[in-house]
Chains A and B, each alone.
Chain A
Amino acid sequence: MSETAQSDTMLRVEGVSKSFGGLQASKDISMSVPRGKITSLIGPNGAGKTTLFALITGFHKPDAGKVSFFGEDITGMAPQDIALRGMIRTFQIVQPFAGQSVRENIAVGAHLHIRSRDAALAKAEEVARKVGLGDRLDMDAAALTVAGRKRLEVARALATDPKLILFDEVLAGLNPSEIRDVIPVIRAIRDEGVTILLIEHVMQAVMSLSEHTWVLNQGELIAQGPPAEVVGDPLVIEAYLGKGMAERIARQRMTAGGAHA
């Protein structure tokens, strides 16, 4: 039993902690990401989601705990070495290579495993079409709209042929119709066999995309499970809306249910 669990786990985080000065950004976090699925990480602002991503991908070094990827201990490894092993993150605040074209931006990702410039540019073009940037290949990345830049983040990560992508709020700042456009793109990436862990505030996306979700609050994991169940968890409701809210909502639901049913 534990053996199959082992082989199905791609990324394992065990007891990871990190503090910045007096602020404990991550407290003893343990989680595991199963292969081939979309899982998500949610939590109110400042819960430490992006910090956790940074700890996993080597941008910060954990004070304690262990991160392993395919069974290999990658704690404290440099981001580029982790990327080389197949785990790629995107940034919440998009980071395009401004002044370079969309094609050149994506090619940087493609070069991770492709030496030839021509092959990398061809790969960039292919990936751009996949995420819906095919018509803006020669545009300066700095001239893209917010939605375009988010797609570019996705495309650059995808061009590296990753095994696991960590998306940090790829849907934030998009309007509902743009969100509807991007969700199938993310699903298509999963269908090609790439495992995905996403941080997301857009609950519609979390519910429709992910099969399992972790909830982070003030640096601690407070709940996990299928998204539909997690959103009903009183702890989660209180984390988002404040103390006593879970009770109040439950009471309201009872009375409202009584009135409308």
Chain B
Amino acid sequence: MRQLALLGLVFAALFFVPFVVTSEAWQNTILMTLYAALLGQAWNILGGYGGQFSFGHAAFFGTGAYTVAVLQVQLGVNPWIGLVAGGLMAVAVAAFIGFTTFRYGLRGSYFALVTLAFAEVLRILANTVPFTGAGVGILIPLDQSAANLQFASKASYYWLVWAIALAAFLTVWWIGHSRFGARLMAVRDNEDAARALGVDPFAVKMRAIMLSGLFSGLAGVFYAQYFLYLDPAIAYGPAISVESLLVPIVGGMGTLFGPLLGAVALHGVSEASRALIGDLPGISLVLYGTILILMVLFAPRGLAGLVRRLSARRNSRETTNV
């Protein structure tokens, strides 16, 4: 309950950010941070809570993004419907990938490689079929109106991503407090022991990958509507997959606030590096790699784990002082 109250407080505060921060550049930074937290939280459902490390979350992200874009451009479907359709298509792709991998018990690096391969296959497909615009990409015509899911102000986009992120964070809170979540974590920590206690690992993992795919897909829809342009490398390229897993790994896998902490840390670092070093191409990737190695070496439970460890140490010091 305390966790839910804290979550409510954080998101309430986040809601008012556009009123306080009026600079468009800063609004954009905060928006992209929240968007990264959303991507990370989506991955966290399957990777952090389920222990299934996907290297191909771009498969879900890109499917969501392309669904809303293609429906609009090729078929004239309203993007609000596209938002729902994008989420559902991502769920369908997740179900397909989940079925083909979990059915055959793929785990660990095998699962990671297969998900990576699926994302790459989708990237190549998007590069060849005509209705995605192939290699040229797809441009969503500018037509700013709320009915069209395009906004003139950064703030409105910010509230859109805020709402999706809130849904993702609430879902993860629920996972931490439900039978489904208990079973998911049991499967993560010891599949055989879980089965002996009546848990069906396949069913549990399928639900996890579909939920994970849903929020990744919604993040993709948001991306498409915000930037109004997609090409196969953006939608299905490895950059999205890497960002999706980097954020929760840095922040703390399998924790509710980990992806938020990770997103803040990573965007903080990349902003700081831009200010200090300038816009050197690829520098943020070098920094990300360095951070990843440092985190894995010194704080394998991420920033959330670090915070918990420090507060535990302080508590024990206080009790020994008393």
Task: Spell out A's residues near B (CB within 8 Å).
Answer: 57, 59, 78-80, 83-84, 88-91, 95-100, 104, 107-109, 111-112, 114-117, 120, 156-157, 160
Contact = CB atoms under 8 A, between A and B. Distances in A.
A111 B189 contact: no
B179 A115 contact: yes
A100 B105 CA distance: 24
B182 A95 contact: no
B279 interface: no
Contacts of A97: 185-186, 189-190, 193-194
Contacts, number: 75
Report, nearest first, the 10 A-B pairs whose CB atoms are least far apart.
Answer: A83-B198, A95-B193, A97-B189, A112-B198, A79-B195, A108-B186, A80-B200, A111-B179, A109-B197, A95-B190
B192 interface: yes
| Residue from B177, B190, B192 whose CB has the most chain A CB atoms within 10 Å | B190
Contacts of B198: 80, 83-84, 88, 109, 112, 160
B178 interface: yes
Contact of A95 (B179, B192, B199): B192
A78 B195 contact: yes
B218 to A, nearest CB: 26
B142 interface: no
Contacts of B196: 57, 59, 79, 83, 88-91, 95, 157
A194 to B, nearest CB: 15
A-side interface mostly: loop
Contact of A80 (B178, B179, B185, B195): B195
Interface in B183-212: 183, 185-186, 189-190, 192-201
8 contacts: A57-B196, A95-B190, A97-B194, A99-B189, A100-B189, A114-B179, A117-B178, A160-B198
A122 to B, nearest CB: 14
Contacts of A109: 197-198
B179 A120 contact: yes
Contacts of B197: 83, 88, 108-109, 112, 156-157, 160
A160 to B, nearest CB: 6
Contacts of B189: 96-100
A120 B182 contact: yes
A25 to B, nearest CB: 18
A57 B198 CA distance: 11
A157 B185 CA distance: 17
Contact of A96 (B182, B190, B195, B201): B190
A90 B197 CA distance: 9
A89 B200 CA distance: 15
A78 B185 CA distance: 20
A78 B179 CA distance: 20
Contacts of A100: 185, 189
B195 A83 contact: yes
Contacts of A96: 189-190, 193
Given A78-B195, A83-B196, A111 B190 contact: no
A112 B183 CA distance: 10
A95 B186 CA distance: 11
